[in-house]
Structure 1
């Protein structure tokens, strides 16, 4: 059994992460899950959420936007629409997006055709604010 996991995280635009890590957690469609070296192979979809990993005792956090997560032979492959490292998130911009999404949602009902669009925008903004806050606490 390997002592580390090899993680490759890719968006349609670039490779965001290529590291050997001790453990990784992410937000799947059915909830949060964690992976350690020696984990059984699996594939799951990811929803808007946080990905965290620990490397040499240091925790790192990222905000993700939809994708897939695969584990096989101590290699984790993450394919997502967008990924932002905590220290790269503009907190003020994320807070502004949160405010805009909240304002738009107030005037909509779940039956409105734009409801899901603003609901996803709200979820993305919330995750970005939470993850950016973790970088600020370092």
Structure 2
């Protein structure tokens, strides 16, 4: 099985680097599953989970990506995002607090109010962090 080198990069630096068998992302036009030797593309990404599957298919790395772009080349994949967090680095308590704050803000704002879009974005990001942190990635024994 072949692999493709994959980097996830934010303004703060590299969040992920490795050779993977498949990258699954949610672009603005739908879900993408990218295997080695995929045709080159550039696509804008949603605020969503990125799944990085390794050759044995039992190992998957999870990264919460807060929008950005994916660039697929013949030899590598690069995801550029304003913010991205591997599952292992998500602070669940901070995400819960941000989620509660965003819900509270949305309850007090009208959909056309200033600050509504920002509160909605904060809610989406906190929900992504919480759902990513909650993924059970243990391998069941046979």
Q: TM-score, normalized by length of structure 1?
A: 0.92
- When the two chains are superposed, the root-mean-square deviation of aligned CA atoms in Å is 1.4
Give the alignment of 1:94-113 within 5 angstroms.
94-113=95-114
1:32 is displaced (CA, Å) by 2.1
Checking the alignment, whether the CA contact within 8 Å between 1:27 and 1:50 is kept in structure 2 is: yes
Give the alignment of 1:20-39 within 5 angstroms.
20-39=19-38
- Residues 94-122 of structure 1, C-alpha deviations (whole Å, 9 max, x = no match): 11111110111011121111110000000
Distance 2:92 2:131 in 1: 9
Query: Which residue pairs with 1:41 in the alignment?
Result: 40
Structure 2 gaps, min length 5: none
Kindly indicate whether residue 11 of structure 2 is the aligned counterpart of residue 17 of structure 1.
Answer: no
1:31 is displaced (CA, Å) by 2.6
1:34 is displaced (CA, Å) by 1.2
Distance 2:16 2:90 in 1: 16
Query: Which residue pairs with 1:8 in the alignment?
Result: 7
Distance 2:17 2:137 in 1: 24
Distance 1:70 1:35 in 2: 11
State the number of aligned residues.
136
Distance 1:137 1:102 in 2: 28
| Further displaced range: 122-131 or 7-16 | 7-16
Checking the alignment, whether the CA contact within 8 Å between 1:48 and 1:127 is kept in structure 2 is: yes
Q: TM-score, normalized by length of structure 2?
A: 0.89
- Residues 6-55 of structure 1, C-alpha deviations (whole Å, 9 max, x = no match): 10111111111121101011121123211011211110011211111111
